[in-house]
A = this chain, B = another copy of it.
């Protein structure tokens, strides 16, 4: 059984990609909705959340876990892995490999504030290719916007907000944008409209592609979805985002 972890609905796109690529794999998705949003917390608290989430997957007996949360991937993957005590992959290495392969130079990384401050994506990129020029931009409010259903393509208020947050990225003149938070995929039409012609790389898609290559599709193709608070709210946000098959049951396990 493959576990997939996120703070909220962002990782559901990783889940969908894995279900499509590995139709017989048994999948367990866990969203820590009781403590969302992670990206506005301190590194110490994010590490604690990561440990507690890792322990949960150990308890559930997952064979391996895909951390589909950019913030945990950037700040606390080691803590998550130690607590889970099984193979754990994040979203940074696969995304960085895809970006490097494409040959782009000026890479604008959009992420949560905690991820941006960690410079984890920047370091991973320049570690692979010192010629890359990365710029990490922390995007406050993007995750709450998305979790509350504000991601419609042609919403002028949303575009105006996003434009203000992304303004420093426009003067950077990127030749690629790396979405370093799996939630941000829902804002990609809006982001693209502000950076016409600039290719977008989604860390969640890259991670799902990488995992699908190494895993074999075996099992009954089951899907279990678990949250730590508010299953109805989560289900409605997920359905609104088109990110869960109709009729999915969402279990609530409570906060740790």
CA distance A148 to B144 in the complex (A): 11
CA distance A42 to B41 in the complex (A): 20
Total count of chain A residues near the partner, CB < 8 A: 28
Collect the chain B residues with CB atoms within 8 Å of residue A40's CB.
Answer: 147-148, 230, 233
A129 is an interface residue with CB less than 8 A from chain B: no
Collect the chain B residues with CB atoms within 8 Å of residue A164's CB.
Answer: 157
Given contacts A229-B42, A255-B45, contact A148 B157 (CB under 8 A): no
Collect the chain B residues with CB atoms within 8 Å of residue A34's CB.
Answer: 35, 41, 45
Query: Using a CB–CB distance below 8 Å, which chain A residues touch chain B?
Result: 34-35, 37, 40-42, 44-45, 48, 140-141, 144-145, 147-150, 156-158, 160-161, 164, 229-230, 233, 254-255
16 sample A-B contacts, Cβ–Cβ < 8 Å, listed by A number: A37-B144, A40-B230, A41-B229, A42-B229, A42-B230, A42-B233, A140-B148, A141-B144, A141-B145, A141-B150, A144-B144, A156-B160, A157-B158, A157-B161, A157-B164, A161-B161
